[in-house]
Protein backbone atom coordinates (compact mmCIF):
# COMPACT_ATOMS: atom_id res chain seq x y z
CA UNK A 1 0.00 0.00 0.00
CA UNK A 2 2.83 2.38 0.87
CA UNK A 3 4.45 1.70 -2.53
CA UNK A 4 1.15 2.35 -4.29
CA UNK A 5 0.67 5.73 -2.59
CA UNK A 6 4.22 6.84 -3.38
CA UNK A 7 4.10 5.65 -7.00
CA UNK A 8 0.79 7.39 -7.82
CA UNK A 9 1.78 10.93 -8.71
CA UNK A 10 -0.12 13.96 -9.92
CA UNK A 11 0.11 12.90 -13.54
CA UNK A 12 -1.54 9.57 -12.73
CA UNK A 13 -4.35 11.35 -10.88
CA UNK A 14 -4.90 13.68 -13.83
CA UNK A 15 -4.96 10.70 -16.20
CA UNK A 16 -7.56 8.91 -14.06
CA UNK A 17 -9.76 12.00 -13.87
CA UNK A 18 -9.57 12.54 -17.62
CA UNK A 19 -10.46 8.91 -18.39
CA UNK A 20 -13.46 8.78 -16.06
CA UNK A 21 -14.81 12.22 -16.93
CA UNK A 22 -14.41 11.54 -20.64
CA UNK A 23 -16.21 8.19 -20.47
CA UNK A 24 -18.99 9.69 -18.33
CA UNK A 25 -19.54 12.42 -20.92
CA UNK A 26 -19.65 9.83 -23.71
CA UNK A 27 -22.29 7.80 -21.84
CA UNK A 28 -24.43 10.89 -21.30
CA UNK A 29 -24.14 11.99 -24.93
CA UNK A 30 -24.89 8.49 -26.24
CA UNK A 31 -28.18 8.46 -24.32
CA UNK A 32 -29.27 11.55 -26.23
CA UNK A 33 -28.67 10.22 -29.71
CA UNK A 34 -31.71 9.32 -31.86
CA UNK A 35 -33.65 6.45 -30.27
CA UNK A 36 -34.61 5.00 -33.65
CA UNK A 37 -30.93 4.23 -34.34
CA UNK A 38 -29.82 2.01 -31.43
CA UNK A 39 -26.60 0.95 -33.15
CA UNK A 40 -25.52 4.60 -33.41
CA UNK A 41 -25.36 4.94 -29.62
CA UNK A 42 -23.26 1.80 -29.25
CA UNK A 43 -20.87 2.64 -32.06
CA UNK A 44 -20.55 6.25 -30.89
CA UNK A 45 -19.11 4.96 -27.61
CA UNK A 46 -17.16 2.22 -29.38
CA UNK A 47 -15.36 4.71 -31.61
CA UNK A 48 -15.04 7.69 -29.30
CA UNK A 49 -13.63 5.71 -26.36
CA UNK A 50 -10.68 5.05 -28.64
CA UNK A 51 -9.57 8.62 -28.00
CA UNK A 52 -8.38 7.43 -24.60
CA UNK A 53 -5.21 6.39 -26.38
CA UNK A 54 -4.24 10.08 -26.38
CA UNK A 55 -4.45 10.15 -22.56
CA UNK A 56 -2.09 7.20 -22.01
CA UNK A 57 1.13 9.26 -21.82
CA UNK A 58 -0.10 10.88 -18.60
CA UNK A 59 0.17 7.62 -16.68
CA UNK A 60 3.44 6.99 -14.87
CA UNK A 61 2.38 3.82 -13.02
CA UNK A 62 1.62 0.46 -14.62
CA UNK A 63 -0.58 -0.39 -11.63
CA UNK A 64 -2.65 2.77 -11.95
CA UNK A 65 -3.29 2.58 -15.69
CA UNK A 66 -4.09 -1.13 -15.56
CA UNK A 67 -6.04 -1.63 -12.37
CA UNK A 68 -7.55 1.81 -11.77
CA UNK A 69 -8.01 3.24 -15.26
CA UNK A 70 -8.70 0.19 -17.45
CA UNK A 71 -9.77 -2.87 -15.45
CA UNK A 72 -12.76 -1.23 -13.68
CA UNK A 73 -14.43 -0.84 -17.07
CA UNK A 74 -14.53 -4.63 -17.42
CA UNK A 75 -16.88 -4.65 -14.43
CA UNK A 76 -18.79 -1.57 -15.58
CA UNK A 77 -19.42 -2.83 -19.11
CA UNK A 78 -20.49 -6.22 -17.76
CA UNK A 79 -22.95 -4.58 -15.37
CA UNK A 80 -24.66 -2.74 -18.25
CA UNK A 81 -24.61 -5.84 -20.47
CA UNK A 82 -27.62 -8.14 -20.97
CA UNK A 83 -25.84 -10.72 -18.78
CA UNK A 84 -25.65 -8.45 -15.74
CA UNK A 85 -27.41 -9.73 -12.60
CA UNK A 86 -28.33 -6.10 -11.81
CA UNK A 87 -30.20 -5.66 -15.11
CA UNK A 88 -28.89 -2.12 -15.59
CA UNK A 89 -30.03 -0.89 -18.99
CA UNK A 90 -28.05 1.42 -21.23
CA UNK A 91 -28.56 1.94 -24.95
CA UNK A 92 -24.88 1.24 -25.61
CA UNK A 93 -25.37 -2.38 -24.58
CA UNK A 94 -28.87 -2.95 -25.94
CA UNK A 95 -27.77 -3.56 -29.51
CA UNK A 96 -25.28 -5.95 -31.05
CA UNK A 97 -23.28 -8.52 -29.15
CA UNK A 98 -23.97 -8.45 -25.44
CA UNK A 99 -20.38 -8.85 -24.33
CA UNK A 100 -18.72 -6.82 -27.07
CA UNK A 101 -17.92 -3.86 -24.83
CA UNK A 102 -16.65 -6.22 -22.12
CA UNK A 103 -14.17 -7.73 -24.59
CA UNK A 104 -13.22 -4.17 -25.55
CA UNK A 105 -12.37 -3.41 -21.91
CA UNK A 106 -10.45 -6.66 -21.49
CA UNK A 107 -8.31 -5.84 -24.52
CA UNK A 108 -7.51 -2.36 -23.25
CA UNK A 109 -6.62 -3.69 -19.80
CA UNK A 110 -4.23 -6.34 -21.13
CA UNK A 111 -2.61 -3.91 -23.55
CA UNK A 112 -2.16 -1.31 -20.81
CA UNK A 113 -0.37 -3.81 -18.60
CA UNK A 114 1.79 -5.55 -21.20
CA UNK A 115 2.85 -2.45 -23.12
CA UNK A 116 2.86 0.15 -20.36
CA UNK A 117 6.34 1.31 -21.32
CA UNK A 118 5.48 1.35 -25.06
CA UNK A 119 2.08 3.08 -25.16
CA UNK A 120 2.10 3.48 -28.94
CA UNK A 121 1.63 -0.30 -29.19
CA UNK A 122 -1.39 -0.08 -26.91
CA UNK A 123 -2.56 2.79 -29.10
CA UNK A 124 -2.38 0.62 -32.22
CA UNK A 125 -4.50 -2.06 -30.56
CA UNK A 126 -7.06 0.46 -29.34
CA UNK A 127 -7.23 2.11 -32.76
CA UNK A 128 -7.90 -1.24 -34.45
CA UNK A 129 -10.83 -2.15 -32.20
CA UNK A 130 -12.27 1.36 -31.76
CA UNK A 131 -11.85 3.33 -34.98
CA UNK A 132 -11.38 0.31 -37.21
CA UNK A 133 -14.08 -2.03 -35.94
CA UNK A 134 -16.45 0.83 -35.20
CA UNK A 135 -16.29 2.28 -38.70
CA UNK A 136 -16.53 -1.21 -40.19
CA UNK A 137 -19.94 -1.57 -38.57
CA UNK A 138 -21.18 1.90 -39.52
CA UNK A 139 -19.90 1.65 -43.09
CA UNK A 140 -21.37 -1.81 -43.52
CA UNK A 141 -24.72 -0.71 -42.13
CA UNK A 142 -24.87 2.31 -44.42
CA UNK A 143 -23.30 1.00 -47.62
CA UNK A 144 -23.04 -2.77 -47.20
CA UNK A 145 -24.30 -4.57 -50.28
CA UNK A 146 -21.87 -7.45 -50.72
CA UNK A 147 -22.22 -9.56 -47.60
CA UNK A 148 -20.34 -12.62 -46.41
CA UNK A 149 -20.40 -14.92 -43.41
CA UNK A 150 -17.50 -17.11 -42.32
CA UNK A 151 -18.22 -18.19 -38.73
CA UNK A 152 -21.79 -17.11 -38.28
CA UNK A 153 -21.77 -13.30 -38.20
CA UNK A 154 -22.77 -11.54 -41.40
CA UNK A 155 -20.29 -8.88 -42.47
CA UNK A 156 -19.92 -6.87 -45.68
CA UNK A 157 -17.03 -6.19 -48.01
CA UNK A 158 -17.91 -2.50 -47.91
CA UNK A 159 -17.65 -2.50 -44.12
CA UNK A 160 -14.32 -4.33 -44.22
CA UNK A 161 -13.02 -1.86 -46.80
CA UNK A 162 -14.14 1.02 -44.56
CA UNK A 163 -12.21 -0.44 -41.63
CA UNK A 164 -9.10 -0.96 -43.73
CA UNK A 165 -9.10 2.61 -45.05
CA UNK A 166 -9.75 4.10 -41.63
CA UNK A 167 -6.81 2.19 -40.16
CA UNK A 168 -4.53 3.32 -42.98
CA UNK A 169 -5.20 6.86 -41.76
CA UNK A 170 -5.46 6.44 -37.98
CA UNK A 171 -2.49 4.13 -37.29
CA UNK A 172 0.05 6.60 -38.74
CA UNK A 173 -1.55 9.35 -36.64
CA UNK A 174 -1.15 7.22 -33.51
CA UNK A 175 2.50 6.56 -34.28
CA UNK A 176 3.22 10.20 -35.03
CA UNK A 177 1.51 11.23 -31.79
CA UNK A 178 3.90 8.95 -29.91
CA UNK A 179 6.90 10.22 -31.89
CA UNK A 180 7.29 6.95 -33.80
CA UNK A 181 8.13 6.95 -37.50
CA UNK A 182 5.33 5.38 -39.60
CA UNK A 183 6.44 2.74 -42.07
CA UNK A 184 3.92 2.44 -44.95
CA UNK A 185 4.49 -1.30 -45.45
CA UNK A 186 4.10 -2.06 -41.75
CA UNK A 187 0.98 0.09 -41.54
CA UNK A 188 -0.49 -1.70 -44.55
CA UNK A 189 0.14 -5.13 -43.00
CA UNK A 190 -1.20 -4.11 -39.59
CA UNK A 191 -4.37 -2.65 -41.12
CA UNK A 192 -4.86 -5.70 -43.34
CA UNK A 193 -4.38 -8.14 -40.47
CA UNK A 194 -6.84 -6.34 -38.21
CA UNK A 195 -9.39 -6.07 -41.03
CA UNK A 196 -9.18 -9.76 -41.93
CA UNK A 197 -9.54 -10.85 -38.31
CA UNK A 198 -12.51 -8.54 -37.77
CA UNK A 199 -14.19 -10.06 -40.80
CA UNK A 200 -13.56 -13.62 -39.64
CA UNK A 201 -14.45 -13.27 -35.97
CA UNK A 202 -18.03 -13.72 -34.70
CA UNK A 203 -19.98 -12.77 -31.56
CA UNK A 204 -18.20 -9.55 -30.63
CA UNK A 205 -14.90 -11.34 -30.20
CA UNK A 206 -13.44 -9.09 -32.89
CA UNK A 207 -12.80 -6.61 -30.08
CA UNK A 208 -10.17 -9.11 -28.98
CA UNK A 209 -8.91 -10.46 -32.28
CA UNK A 210 -8.67 -7.15 -34.17
CA UNK A 211 -6.82 -5.56 -31.26
CA UNK A 212 -4.34 -8.35 -30.59
CA UNK A 213 -4.01 -9.16 -34.29
CA UNK A 214 -2.99 -5.58 -35.07
CA UNK A 215 -0.50 -5.58 -32.21
CA UNK A 216 0.93 -8.97 -33.20
CA UNK A 217 1.34 -7.82 -36.80
CA UNK A 218 3.15 -4.70 -35.63
CA UNK A 219 5.47 -6.66 -33.35
CA UNK A 220 6.28 -9.21 -36.03
CA UNK A 221 6.87 -6.73 -38.83
CA UNK A 222 9.01 -4.42 -36.70
CA UNK A 223 10.93 -7.23 -35.00
CA UNK A 224 9.99 -5.85 -31.58
CA UNK A 225 9.42 -8.48 -28.90
CA UNK A 226 6.99 -8.48 -25.99
User: Per-domain residue ranges for the chain?
Assistant: 2-222
Residue 40 and residue 91: Cα distance in Å, rounded?
9
User: Does the structure show a pLDDT above 70 at 122?
Assistant: yes
What pLDDT was estimated at residue 128?
96
What pLDDT was estimated at residue 81?
77
Cβ-based burial of 161 (10 A; exposed 0-12, middle 13-18, buried ≥19): middle
DSSP helix/strand/coil, 122: helix
- Could you read off the pLDDT of 83-95 as tens digits, one per residue? 777 766 655 555 5
Of the chain, the percentage scoring pLDDT greater than 70 comes to: 88
Distance of CA 193 to the CA centre of its chain: 16
DSSP 146: S
User: Does the structure show a pLDDT above 50 at 17?
Assistant: yes
H or E element: which one contains 125?
helix 119-127
Top pLDDT among 137 and 112 is at: 112
What pLDDT was estimated at residue 1?
44
Confidence of residue 25 (pLDDT cuts 50, 70, 90): very high
Cβ-based burial of 206 (10 A; exposed 0-12, middle 13-18, buried ≥19): buried
Give yes or no for a contact between 177 and 54, defined as CB atoms under 8 angstroms apart: yes
pTM: 0.89
What pLDDT was estimated at residue 7?
65
Backbone CA torsion sign across 82, 88, 91, 92? negative
Give yes or no for a contact between 60 and 11, defined as CB atoms under 8 angstroms apart: yes
Amino acid sequence: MKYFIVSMNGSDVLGLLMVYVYVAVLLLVSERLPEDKPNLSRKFIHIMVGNILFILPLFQSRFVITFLAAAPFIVLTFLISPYSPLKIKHRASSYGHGLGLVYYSISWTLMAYIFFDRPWITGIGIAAMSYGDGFASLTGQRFGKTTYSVLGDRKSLEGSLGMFLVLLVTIPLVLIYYSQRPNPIIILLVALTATLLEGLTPKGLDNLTACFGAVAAYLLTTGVGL
